[in-house]
Amino acid sequence: MRRELSGSMVFDTGVLLELLLSTPGGLLVREKLLRGELFGYVTELALVEARYVLCRRVGWEEASKRVDWLVLSGFIEVEDVSSLCERAAKFKCEVGISLPDCFTLSLADLLSMPALFARRERELVGGLSKLPPSINVLFLEDFIENVSGLAPDRRK
């Protein structure tokens, strides 16, 4: 099980938002992307979710500009969801987590790479034991803690 923030990973929407909002975790991801130490894969659904969540914070035009920049940057590869639908539906049925999380995990499973989520959300953590052991789930908050020595915010 990989425990470093390097290589290719499937980014969940939360990681995209951290990156697009330049949070401490987002700055860490950006630094790793710029150095070529990290490369992200995302689903189309993660981009849709990032765009509307970011819109609520910075407005539609700014959100669209940031998401478009990220897609055009070459630091992430956007994957079509059509090949993931059946696998995501199975995860939704068996694991009972959010549908976007199911698509992230489906892509990670398909590509045989870790899924990177921003934080340990209760629903996701509760479903981890139901996932196939081949799916490696990492949390950005762990890497922030390792870099800064600060405990992550676990109020969620």
Query: Rounded to an integer, what distance in angstroms lies between the CA atom of residue 138 and that of residue 12?
Result: 10
In sequence order, the β-bridge partners of residue 78 are 42
| The residue to which tokens 């470093």 are assigned | 4
Average pLDDT value for the chain: 90
pLDDT in the model for residue 69: 95
Q: How confident is the model at residue 153 (pLDDT cuts 50, 70, 90)?
A: very low
pLDDT of residue 96: 85
Mean pLDDT of 78-107: 94
Residue with tokens 């059509």: 82
Residue 36: strand pairing partners: none
pLDDT of residue 156: 37
- Nearest Cα residue to 143 out of 20, 37, 68, 36: 37
Alpha carbon of 127 to those of 13, 50, 53, 131, 134: distances in Å?
A: 18, 22, 24, 7, 15
| The CATH number of the domain covering residues in 7-148 | 3.40.50.1010
Phi, psi at 78, each rounded to 5°: -95, 125
Q: Mean pLDDT lowest for which of 22-26, 93-97, 115-119?
A: 93-97
What is the signed CA dihedral for 129, 130, 133, 139, rounded to 10 degrees?
-60
The predicted structure's pLDDT at residue 13: 97
Provide the sign of the torsion angle of the four alpha carbons 96, 101, 106, 111, taken in this order.
negative
For residue 89, what pLDDT band results from cuts at 50, 70 and 90?
very high
Total residues found in the chain within this entry: 156
Which amino acid is residue 5, in one-letter code? L
Quickly state the pLDDT bin for 127 (edges 50, 70, 90).
confident
Local structure of 20: helix, strand or coil: helix
